[in-house]
Amino acid sequence: MADTSDSRTIAFLGATGKTGRAILRWLLAKEAPPFGLNIYVRSRSKLLDLFPEAASYSRVKILEGFVSDTEMIRQCLSGAQTIICTLGENENKAGIRILQDAAHSILDALGELKNSGSGWRKPRLILLSSSTYNARFAAARPPLIHWLIKTAFSHPYADLAAAQSLFLESSSLLSVLLVQPPLLIEEDASGYEISTDSVRLAVSYEDLGAAIFEMIMERGYDNLNAVGVSSRKGDGFGRYGPEIFRRIFRGLLVGYVPGFWVIQQVFDRIFSGGV
């Protein structure tokens, strides 16, 4: 059973994303969270549309702005023993820097907090990563599929790899647990599996959120460096293969066909009535 009686402060970056929302649902499941929760967002109104109750809890603090604003990130991290980062990007757009920018801000802010003394303790970072960046999980994939996935998502993966390196090189400022899921998919929860040995083909956002909540609440994960998370029903090439290939195809188009992303956005706006 998760221990919900602790009184620590949790800093959360990425709560409005699909993974982030699935975690926040758990964190806000009790009427008033027993812990302090500092949430960084780039849109406060988006967060409150999703979680109106967040505005009414005295121990929930919402910080809105650019992730490069070190002073704001310092406020978000102040007093936090646990940092959750589910920021990221799924589209293979060139020039993505969200995770690197976040890493620089987080590390600068932690450096300042450490130097300011006042009872600073090294926090634990739970970072949403990818099974593609776990050598053991990746080795279990057919090499061609692994290459296609790395190529079709080369831009977000480059950002993730750079941010991960920055965090892992900064062991004096934080300790890191990499959460390395396979394909993230919007479907019902079927129960989660957390493993250091293997992952299945897919995990639902709901299962991933529940698994990360367990990692936040349970001390048993404190000495691990990397874990995979899968849905119990996350296997079956017939079930997930078409979606994997659809995303690979889209990633290759977005990443390597000049102008595709812009044209796609125009079509999306026209057909969603935005123009």
CA atoms of 275 and 267, how far apart (whole Å): 9
Report CA dihedral (98, 66, 68, 183) to the nearest 10 degrees.
-20
Angstrom distance (rounded) from CA 236 to CA 196 = 21
Secondary structure of 186-234 in HEC code, one letter for each residue: CCCCCCEEEECCCCCCEEEHHHHHHHHHHHHHCHHHCCCCEEEEEECCC
Cβ of residue 5: shortest distance to ligand NAP, in angstroms?
28
Residue whose CB is less far from ligand NAP, 123 or 182: 182
Residue (123 or 156) nearer to ligand NAP, CB:
156
Smallest separation, CB 260 to ligand NAP (Å): 18
Locus of tokens 């690197």: 100
Each residue 146-185 as x (binds ligand NAP by CB under 6 A) or -, in order, gives ----------x---x--------------------x-xx-
Question: 228: closest CA among 192, 189, 185?
Answer: 192
Residue 46 interacts with ligand NAP (CB under 6 A): yes or no: yes
Q: Exposed, middle or buried, 91 (CB in 10 Å: 0-12/13-18/19+)?
A: middle
Q: With contact defined as beta carbons under 8 Å apart, do 94 and 33 qualify?
A: no
CA–CA separation, 74 and 69 (whole Å): 9
Query: Which of 76, 103, 128, 178 lies at the binding interface for ligand NAP (CB under 6 A)?
Result: 128
Least Å distance, CB 65 to ligand NAP, is: 9
Among 130, 134, 164, 204, binds ligand NAP (CB under 6 A): 130
Nearer to ligand NAP, 95 or 119 (CB): 95
Nearer to ligand NAP, 116 or 225 (CB): 225
Element (H, E) at 13: strand 9-13
Residue 146 β-bridge partners: none
89-108 binders of ligand NAP (CB under 6 A)? 89-90, 98
Pairing of strands 192-195, 226-231: antiparallel
Report in angstroms how near the CB of residue 90 gets to ligand NAP at its nearest: 4
Site for ligand NAP in 244-273 (CB under 6 A): none
Please count the residues of this chain forming the interface with ligand NAP, following the rule CB under 6 A: 23
Q: Please identify, using beta-carbon distances, which residue of 4 and 249 lies nearer to ligand NAP.
A: 249
Binding letters toward ligand NAP, positions 2-31, x by CB under 6 A: ------------x-xxxxx-----------
Nearer to ligand NAP, 89 or 108 (CB): 89
Which residues contact ligand NAP by CB under 6 A? 14, 16-20, 42-43, 46, 67, 86-90, 98, 128, 130, 156, 160, 181, 183-184
